[in-house]
Amino acid sequence: QVQLVQSGAEVKKPGASVKVSCKVSGYTLTELSMHWVRQAPGKGLEWMGGFDPEDGETIYAQKFQGRVTMTEDTSTDTAYMELSSLRSEDTAVYYCAKSSGSYYDSFDYWGQGTLVTVSS
């Protein structure tokens, strides 16, 4: 049974950074293409980036390049997403999501979401 369990809610000040974790069970992280998707309050889903295991690269959405870093700790099967230079518009629920196959496939398992609030 695959499970993605994320870290708890965060409150950050503008300009700070946040690091959200996603613990995988039922799979080995190295077998997966893990992605991050966010959702601002009352808004739709927005893809932030993901890992392509075929070429070993992490690909970031252009909007977040330079501000987001996605990493993995294979010893604990935990993925991380760090977003820096936070602004109020970054207030959102952040999800990790596992691709069902390759990097280009659908997301068949999702974490429960982590609310990040950016407020002075």
Partner 1 sequence: SYELTQPLSVSVALGQTARITCGGNNIGSKNVHWYQQKPGQAPVLVIYRDSNRPSGIPERFSGSNSGNTATLTISRAQAGDEADYYCQVWDSSILFGGGTKLTVL
Residue whose entry in the numeric block shows the structure tokens 């990790």: 96
Q: Which of 39, 10, 5, 28 is nearest to 109 (CA)?
A: 5
Close Cβ partners of 47 (under 8 Å, ≥ 6 residues apart): 35, 36, 37, 61
For residue 67, give the DSSP letter: T
Distance separating alpha carbons of residues 1 and 25, to the nearest angstrom: 8
5 binds partner 1 (CB under 8 A): no
Closest approach of partner 1 to the CB of residue 44, in Å = 4
107 binds partner 1 (CB under 8 A): yes
Select from 13-21, 42-50, 66-74, 84-92 the region that touches partner 1 (CB under 8 A): 42-50
- In which region does residue 2 sit, left (phi positive, over 0), alpha (psi from -120 to 50) or beta (all else)? beta
Give the pair of three-digit tokens for residue 66: 């330079």
Closest approach of partner 1 to the CB of residue 76, in Å = 22
Among 35, 64, 79, 90, binds partner 1 (CB under 8 A): 35
75 binds partner 1 (CB under 8 A): no
Select from 15-23, 24-32, 66-74, 111-119 the region that touches partner 1 (CB under 8 A): 111-119
Q: Which H helix or E strand runs over 70?
A: strand 68-73
Select from 23-31, 44-52, 72-80, 81-89 the region that touches partner 1 (CB under 8 A): 44-52
* Binding-site ranges for partner 1 (CB under 8 A): 35, 37, 44-47, 50, 61-62, 95, 97, 100, 104-108, 110-113
